[in-house]
Amino acid sequence: MLGGCRRALPAALGRALRGRAAGQGGRAVSTSWCPVGTAFDVKQQQQQPLRGGAAGRDTGLFGVPELSCPEGFQEAQDKALQESEQLVQKACSTPPGPETVMIFDQLSDSLCRVADLADFVKVAHPDFAFREAAEEACRNIGTVVEKLNTDVELCQSLRRLLTDETVLSSLDPETRRVAELFMFDFEISGIHLDEEKRKKAVELNVRILDLCNEFLIGTHIPNKIDKHVLPEHIRYNFTAEGNYLRIAGLHADCPDDLVREAAYKIFLHSNTQQLARLEELLASRNSLAQLVGYDTFAHRALQGTMAKNPETVRQFLEKLSEQLSKRTQKDFEMMTKMKMKLNPHNSMLMPWDHPYYSGVLRAERYNIDPGLYCPFFSLGACMEGLNSLFSQLLGISLYAEQTKRGEIWSEDVRKLAVVHETEGLLGYIYCDFFQRPDKPHQDCHFTVRGGRLKENGEYQLPVVVLMLSLPNSARGAPTLLSPGMMENLFHEMGHAMHSMLGRTRYQHVTGTRCATDFAEVPSILMEYFANDYRVVNQFARHYKTGQPLPKNMVSRLCESKKVCAAADMQLQVFYAVLDQIYHGKHPLKKSTTEILKETQEKVYGLPYVPNTAWQLRFSHLVGYGAKYYSYLMSRAVASMVWKQCFAQNPFDRAMGERYRREMLAYGGGKEPMLMVQGMLQKSPSVEDFVDALVSDLDHDFETFIMDS
């Protein structure tokens, strides 16, 4: 993970007015479905193509009729805003009771159905006109949401419910929690302020949305440099544009030290405009937090999470850093020795060396060549492996379903129906797996439509998109995944299962709409399954010979990941600490770059490189502001769940059902720590989190014996 910038779980616009619902599925297996592996295997796909999408009128993106053309976003937006106006009036005139919460959830759903869909389209659609229309819809819906969050009359209708003890005591736990979450959204938006300050809060929120978009775009813009500045023998590594070279990344895997150094210094060179955006974003977030009554933005952001407050996060990161210290130092010493061995004239370990030399050490110690593994991980086989795992663990099957014309945005997108053995159809996953021009190179899960129990008693099925960046297959051969790609696929499918199985009554708390430090638990847990030989052995077959992947190759791969893993984790601690400082007390004592330098040398241990500003490429400051620690805390919980519940038998159906019942079913409809407690039968402490992460770094004794 470079800069922690993969596996993002994008925050949906309209998050402040969101919801979830519960109910039953109930649809027999359709004759238009085909086995999931077939849909992703190129050879079989050519022999047995998916049907549909050939003729007739366009149905519109995701089956939304208005979205057969970019202009349809305006129509969908107007329809949602008109519906929301009616629901606001209804909420304000309805006597306090369960119906009040249902109306609020309908309001959330009417806005999120457009905003969430647009949130995906604006980054992933190949047509610029669609992306532009979606961006405008996101902004417009987001502005309306911020205004609704400071609507006094709307808030009063909810307050009447929450202050009526008789009515409140009659609500079931989920309805009560959702009502409290809606009130929390009002409070953090400044509903208690006078009219002038409420207006200021709305303006700040809208400005923050704009700054987030601008900063995010800036994190990906390449830097250019006169090609004559670089030695001639390394210029070919970069894209030439006339007399300039275009540097679009860190080239972290390049074996030439000079190429990595040049890429690091040029790509991360400070940019005045991006620096100003970041400073204004951090200052605006702090102003908003203080305006609505919080000491810092971090205090506001961490309400309702597992950590609950910045003090707990700081304690967690400090204890983890302390435990990692000696291990990290040993890792750096090993990398330094390797650098001296390969480059005696320049042996000082620098930040651009860490990803490369840790990889060299892994390959040397365990003879790991990704090319040896790829033939065993065809995409079709991996999808069948997931299908088999979900079937045994949760009683769920994945089927490829034909799409209608205009329903998908690229011909290589596949639509999967998620079907439970007794409950029927649970929802849909659109798989946008392959690289294409202008598509972001990141792996993400997007909620397009949340599940909820509709007014007529039917269940609104959830719809999500999984976006990966897999290479297109060679002609006549299936798409082959590296071990890292396979693990990423399992990770993102963990998010998807959370969305499918969070069968909540209210859309506001559907699936992954939960605390950020809990949302990553199901996806990281899937990584443990992806690294277990008993699971891998069920699907990893050589695509030509059918030979199974040897057990010792899986063992070596898993153990290789522990080489320099302490230093890798310490890097994540550094990012998380930096995030906390940026969103802590303001005004900041120093510039963001000076804070970066100080924190890097204190927490990470490798020297700061003058004139660089890595924080300007830290895209997670947008979606994970003050919550970047979530990856580490979620991994700690996932580790505990794996070791206690699945390590003995990864196909244990009873544990699978318990996992669904205790952790997946609620979405965000239950306190996150209570869900963890239900699964583990205890409430873990900060020390438990740290111990779980550190114990994962220990080598497996059996593998060491085997290797010797």
**What digits encode the pLDDT tens for the residues 180-237?**
999 999 998 889 999 999 999 989 998 998 999 899 999 999 999 999 999 999 999 9
Q: How confident is the model at residue 44 (pLDDT cuts 50, 70, 90)?
A: very low
Enter the tokens of residue 114: 């457009």
Amino acid type, 235: R
Q: How confident is the model at residue 343 (pLDDT cuts 50, 70, 90)?
A: confident
In total, the chain counts a number of residues equal to 708
Alpha-carbon span 275 to 228, nearest angstrom: 27
pLDDT in tens, 521-566: 999 999 999 999 999 999 999 999 999 999 999 999 999 999 999 9
Strands (E), 338-489: 396-401, 414-420, 424-434, 444-449, 452-453, 459-460, 463-470
Alpha-carbon span 115 to 118, nearest angstrom: 5
In sequence order, which residues have a C-beta less than 8 Å from that of residue 567 and are 6 or more positions away? 327, 328, 331, 332, 335, 354, 358
Place of tokens 């053309």: 69
Alpha-carbon span 413 to 394, nearest angstrom: 25
**Cβ atoms of 523 and 347 closer than 8 Å:** no
The pLDDT of residue 346 is 80
The pLDDT of residue 702 is 46
Alpha-carbon span 1 to 5, nearest angstrom: 6
| Nearest-10 crossing angle of helices 173-188, 152-163 | 140
The pLDDT of residue 437 is 87
For strands 444-449 and 452-453, give the pairing: unpaired
Q: What is the DSSP string of 146-166?
A: HHHTT-HHHHHHHHHHHH-HH
Alpha-carbon span 215 to 616, nearest angstrom: 8
Mean pLDDT of 642-667: 97
Q: What angle do CA 285, 288, 292 make, to 5 degrees?
A: 145
Q: How confident is the model at residue 476 (pLDDT cuts 50, 70, 90)?
A: confident
**Average pLDDT across the chain, whole number:** 90
Helix (H) or strand (E) holding 79: helix 72-93
Q: Give how far the C-alpha of residue 331 lies from the chain's centroid of Cα atoms, to the nearest Å.
A: 28
Calculate the alpha carbon distances from 352 to 3, 305, 601 in Å.
12, 34, 14
The backbone torsions φ and ψ at residue 394, rounded to the nearest 5 degrees and listed phi first, read -130, 0
Please identify every residue annotated as catalytic: 492
Enter the tokens of residue 306: 């597992």
Q: What is the DSSP string of 90-148?
A: HHHHSPSSHHHHHHHHHHHHHHHHHHHHHHHHHHH-S-HHHHHHHHHHHHHHHHHHHHH
Enter the tokens of residue 127: 């047509």
Q: How confident is the model at residue 611 (pLDDT cuts 50, 70, 90)?
A: very high
Mean pLDDT of 292-320: 96
The backbone torsions φ and ψ at residue 436, rounded to the nearest 5 degrees and listed phi first, read -160, 160
Is the pLDDT at 20 greater than 50? The verdict is no
Q: How confident is the model at residue 284 (pLDDT cuts 50, 70, 90)?
A: very high
Q: In terms of C-beta density within 10 A (0-12 exposed, 13-18 middle, 19 or more buried), how is residue 2 classed?
A: exposed
Q: Give how far the C-alpha of residue 219 lies from the chain's centroid of Cα atoms, to the nearest Å.
A: 17
Closest CA to 54 of 407, 386, 496: 407
Enter the tokens of residue 667: 């979405």
Alpha-carbon span 262 to 265, nearest angstrom: 5
Region of poorest pLDDT, from 53-57, 78-82, 290-294: 53-57
Q: How confident is the model at residue 6 (pLDDT cuts 50, 70, 90)?
A: very low
Is the pLDDT at 340 greater than 80? The verdict is yes
Alpha-carbon span 124 to 10, nearest angstrom: 12
Mean pLDDT of 654-667: 97
Q: How confident is the model at residue 704 (pLDDT cuts 50, 70, 90)?
A: very low
Alpha-carbon span 79 to 81, nearest angstrom: 6
Q: Give how far the C-alpha of residue 381 lies from the chain's centroid of Cα atoms, to the nearest Å.
A: 24
Is the pLDDT at 419 greater than 50? The verdict is yes
Closest CA to 564 of 699, 687, 372, 700: 699
Q: Give how far the C-alpha of residue 214 lies from the chain's centroid of Cα atoms, to the nearest Å.
A: 20
Q: How confident is the model at residue 433 (pLDDT cuts 50, 70, 90)?
A: very high
Region of poorest pLDDT, from 9-18, 116-125, 418-427: 9-18
Mean pLDDT of 514-527: 96
Is the pLDDT at 4 greater than 70? The verdict is no
Alpha-carbon span 113 to 81, nearest angstrom: 11
- Of all residues in the chain, the percent with pLDDT exceeding 70 is 92
Is the pLDDT at 45 greater than 60? The verdict is no
State the pTM of this model: 0.89
**Cβ atoms of 22 and 125 closer than 8 Å:** no
Calculate the alpha carbon distances from 673 to 304, 508, 514, 610, 683 in Å.
10, 19, 12, 42, 7
Q: What angle do CA 633, 637, 638 make, to 5 degrees?
A: 115
The pLDDT of residue 334 is 95
Is the pLDDT at 347 greater than 90? The verdict is no
Is the pLDDT at 295 greater than 90? The verdict is yes
